[in-house]
Amino acid sequence: MMKKFLALMLSVSMIAGLAACGSKETEAPATDAPAAEAPAEGGDDAEAPAPAADGSGKHIFMFKSTGNSFGDLMYEGYSEYMSALGYETEYTSPAETTVAAQVQMLDELITQGVASIVISTNGDTGYDEVFQKAKDAGIPIVSIDSEASVNYRLAHINQAEVQDIGSYLVQAAVLITLGVDYPEDKTMEEVVAEQLGSYSGDEIVLGVLSAGVDTPVQNSWIAAMEVELAKDMYAGKVSPELDKKYGNDDPTESTTQANAFVAENKVDCIISPTTVGIAAAGQVLKQANSEIKLTGLGLPSEMQSFMPNSADEDAFTYVCPYMMLWDVIHLGAVAGAAIDAALTNGWAGTDGETFTMAAFRDYAEEDYSVYTQGDGTFVLAGTPYIFYKGNMAEWIDKL
């Protein structure tokens, strides 16, 4: 039975399955965007910028690093949407998940005269000079997943409200620790309040296996988790302190950090808000036959060995009883629609502006509005969706 908790369209064949779903969660206010960076001044020896982009060059999609299925699927949506409009796209990401690696690649691409850039950044700072070079060349920048500085981007394509994600992850981790299946008829928050109201056991301790220590999107979700844990219903029942470890979105490093959680045996449940981290943690916990449970943001195709695949199964015989994500293919397409609007209609990412994503695959035509949050502007593409024993089998071959 499909969940009414979080409605989401996930890919071509996913749309029909989710068409009847509606959201029953109330969205929480999002956290503020990171503070703006001051533009860097170019030196006398600065390389001459490429000619202003006119839309005829390559349109670059850059994720944090190569080998990440999350980025691959976003590019799939971006490339398909842009190609249908006649644009030439290129997927270019560094091997290392560092600011320096992205900056070097960006500098080379801008010198070549690319037409636009969509980027998921590896850090809050360090991009000023290269982004200014793009701005001087008239190359529009849209960030996605992990924000670029508000001084240089047109807007940030936000996959879901930050506070929603942090709250849902904490609520899922607490319910999983308590051995409670994903609720079908109530919100997770309602069930958490009920369960903790009568809970008298040891204080629950949650861990986080994140990406990089400086990754903006990961840090914003962790901050949102801490806001959630500060609610009165958790007091004395769940530790407000998160045990944080960082795997840098690298399978080997993430595996090392997951093994550290097992060796220390201090946490009851690991939250991994990264598809690389959650898959690595799933493998480690399964091999170790650990009592530590797992939730986070994951792809069903990568998590099928660590999650129940049938409604008849006991979810708690698996390391990850349930998890969440959103429509990553659609997310990439929305970024493509924003770039197209910037190049053809003068869309500038200012508060209140709208742009249209044309019908794409089985997605209907849709308008997206720009909203201000903190110092920057954002476009909200969707909401999280829960994968659990009642629907995993449907999505393993689709996402």
User: What are the mean pLDDT values of the chain's consecutive 10-residue runs (399 residues total)?
Assistant: 35 33 31 34 36 68 94 96 97 96 98 97 96 97 96 95 94 98 96 97 98 93 98 98 97 98 98 97 98 97 97 97 93 97 97 96 94 95 90 88
CA diameter of the chain: 68
CA torsion, ordered 97, 98, 99, 105, to nearest 10 deg = -70
Paired tokens of 249: 């979105």
pLDDT of residue 345: 96
Structure tokens that stand for 385 in this block = 């969706």
pLDDT at 17: 33
CB neighbour class for 151 (10 Å; exposed up to 12, middle 13-18, buried from 19): middle
For the chain, the distance separating the N- and C-terminal CA atoms, rounded to the nearest angstrom, is 19
In angstroms, rounded to a whole number, what is the distance separating the alpha carbons of residues 191 and 189?
A: 5
State the Cα–Cα distance between residues 65 and 82, nearest whole angstrom: 21
What is the Cα–Cα distance from 32 to 369, expressed in whole angstroms?
18
Q: Do residues 215 and 125 touch, judged by C-beta distance below 8 A?
A: no
pLDDT value of residue 362: 85
pTM of full prediction above 0.85: no
Q: What is the pLDDT of residue 33?
A: 32
What pLDDT is recorded for position 398?
77
Domains of the chain: 50-160+327-382 (3.40.50.2300), 162-325 (3.40.50.2300)
Which pLDDT value is given to residue 55? 53
pLDDT at 24: 29
